[in-house]
Structure 1
Amino acid sequence: MNRFRYSSFRTTFAALLILLPVLCLAAKDFSMPKIQPAASYPAHDYHSKEKVTVALDPYDTSAKANIFVVPYHDENLLPVLLVITNDSDQPVELSNIKPELVTADGDKLTPAGEDEIYRRISHPTSSGARVPLPFPTRRVKGTVNNKQFMEIENAHFKAKAVEPLSSQGGFLFFDITDVKNPLRGAHFYLTGVRDSSGNDLMYFEVPLEKYTNAASH
């Protein structure tokens, strides 16, 4: 009898060990990292005339990507935190910004839209509350769960302006399928930032080598 109980205990314990990561993932919620002034990130570009700084913080390691519910790396998506700080006394406008990541090999990457990310991660399963797609448009098919949907909605960089003496931040997601070493030697370009009069600021260029060098030390 004792042997039977011991065997049952071992079976139950082994099952719990297998289920533990799944249970932890189910209980996990995305929490946006605290946005720091852009100049505090290693990879940044400061325009002294306009007093605007643009910074990037790639989430390219397992430790950093642990904040997410969605396993973006498994879908060949690289999350990159974009932070824009405005130290001037006038707002800057962001509604027409165009971000681009250019790798050392010359690959030009633009951020994936929400619809594209939904397509990547919509692998239907029988568990969890589901949000049927197409959502928000009828072009998207499949399903994502509620936590994934809320994360994609909340994580994306969506700021349309940066008020004086403040910062805005959010994630861009780059498709790195078949791209080797997307960060080392890469440069990030941001155009379309405008001052309060509607004039375009000079483009921002952020060398990602500043990040990779800092991360290696």
Structure 2
Amino acid sequence: MKSQKSHSLRTIPLLAAALALSATAAHAREKKAPPVKPANQYAAFDQHPNEKLTIAAEPCTDPKDCDFFRLPYIEHGFIPIRIVFTNDGDTALTLDDVRIQLITSDNTVVPAATDDDLNRRLFTTGGVRGTPVPLPAPLPPIHIHRQQVDKKITQDDDDFGFSGTVVNAHSTLAGYLFYDVRGLDAPPLKDASIYVKEIWTMDRKKELFSYTIPLNKWLATQPH
């Protein structure tokens, strides 16, 4: 009887921890990004009336403003920026070849981070030994590290990234991209812009002009 009671008491903290983790996961799943608005309703956007396309950029530099993410990207040097495409034309557009870059005040070009980029920054691999590749003696084997992208990164991409690469006629498509600002002069978004190029019509007959979205317009709306 005494042994059973002791075992039960030891189980309580483990059960509580499991329930806490389950509640945290459920809470993360319930969190939603703000509803998407037409691009011209954001502070920072570029509109080409002749092409009937507007593109907006909405950064998040305060973790409290984008606490729906499962991981602390901002604290690790990445700024999430929501890119919004609103197509008011009658022709669908494809983003298959699109490039969406952060251009800093000194013209440094920062591409959008990949899932692998995020994973390398947020998770260390020092403890992973990897797969040994034998070499002729007496050299030691080389270990190839095959680290999978953390599930929370892929879940955030599924929930908050782009759901596709087609901007249908008279519709809006949006998603979050992440930009590595570690090592850039502070504040990194001052006098910076989002540069978007290589947008095509679905029939590939026409490439749209490039778009430049000045982020100072967004900064002007932020509390100082």
Counting only pairs closer than 5 Å after superposition, residues 47-66 of structure 1 correspond to structure 2 as 47-66=48-67
1:175 to 173, 176, 180: 180
TM-score, normalising length: structure 2: 0.73
Residue matched to 1:153: 158
* Residue 140 of structure 1, CA deviation: 5.0
Q: Structure 2 CA distance, aligned partners of 1:143 and 1:168?
A: 25
The verdict on how the C-alpha distance between 1:120 and 1:47 changes in structure 2, with shifts beyond 3 A counting, is same
SS in 2 for 1:164: coil
Tell me the distance in 2 between the aligned counterparts of 1:142 and 1:161.
Answer: 28
Partners of 2:58 and 2:218 within 8 A in 1: yes
| 3-state secondary structure, aligned to 1:50 | coil
Q: How does 1:20-59 map to 2 (within 5 A)?
A: 25-26=24-25, 27-29=27-29, 30-59=31-60
Q: Is the 8 A contact 1:55 1:82 kept in 2?
A: yes
Residue of structure 1 aligned with 2:193, choices 173, 177, 187: 187
Q: 1:158 to 1:112 in 2, by over 3 A?
A: farther
Query: Could you say which structure has the larger radius of gyration?
Result: 2
TM alignment of 1:8-157, pairs within 5 A: 25-26=24-25, 27-29=27-29, 30-122=31-123, 141=147, 144=150, 146-157=151-162
Q: What is the CA distance between 1:164 and its match in structure 2?
A: 0.8
**AA of the residue aligned to 1:207:** P
Residue in 2 aligned with 1:130?
none
Taking only aligned residues, the RMSD between alpha carbons, in angstroms, comes to: 2.6
Contact 1:95 1:159 in 2 (8 A): no
How many percent of aligned residue pairs carry the same amino acid?
25
CA offsets 1:46-89 (integer angstroms, 9 cap, x no match): 01001100000001113212121110012111100000000011
CA distance in 2: counterparts of 1:215 and 1:91, whole angstroms: 34
Extract structure 1 runs of 4+ deviating beyond 6 A: 21-24
1:188–1:208: 8 Å Cα contact kept in structure 2?
yes
CA contact (8 A) 1:190 1:205 kept: yes
Q: Which runs of 5+ in 1 are unaligned?
A: 1-15, 125-132
Q: Deviations over 1:72-107 (max 9, x none)?
A: 012111100000000011111111001111111222
